Amino acid sequence: NAGVTQTPKFQVLKTGQSMTLQCAQDMNHEYMSWYRQDPGMGLRLIHYSVGAGITDQGEVPNGYNVSRSTTEDFPLRLLSAAPSQTSVYFCASAPGSGGETQYFGPGTRLLVL
């Protein structure tokens, strides 16, 4: 199993550009989530999904959209990037609920100029 994969590894955007961060898992996990990690800080939850077709907001959802059309994929969309969205983004999945052990992808480092 590849586990949780994320693409791209690194991206530079200009303010106002849009992009989609991809996340996929091959463990048949119901729960998937997106976090952002700013320098020297812990992770903050952006959006999460408890199954295909179901998404919900986390702690810092503004400026981000998500969808979950399949169990495997959970893309994160930035519609109009802002410098404040410069961060490292991690996708994670869990077999059941979000309160259980989560499995993390390697991260996407995003720089917004």
Partner 1 sequence: SQQGEEDPQALSIQEGENATMNCSYKTSINNLQWYRQNSGRGLVHLILIRSNEREKHSGRLRVTLDTSKKSSSLLITASRAADTASYFCATDADDAGNMLTFGGGTRLMVKP
The residues binding partner 1 (CB under 8 A) are 4, 31, 33, 35, 40-45, 48, 50, 56, 58-59, 90, 92, 97-107
Contact between 101 and 93 (Cβ < 8 Å): no
**Nearer to partner 1 by C-beta: 35 or 64?**
35
CB of 85 to partner 1, least distance (A): 19
Contact between 6 and 25 (Cβ < 8 Å): no
What is d(CA 6, CA 22) in angstroms, rounded to the nearest whole number?
Answer: 6
CB of 16 to partner 1, least distance (A): 28
What is d(CA 91, CA 106) in angstroms, rounded to the nearest whole number?
Answer: 8
**Nearer to partner 1 by C-beta: 45 or 52?**
45
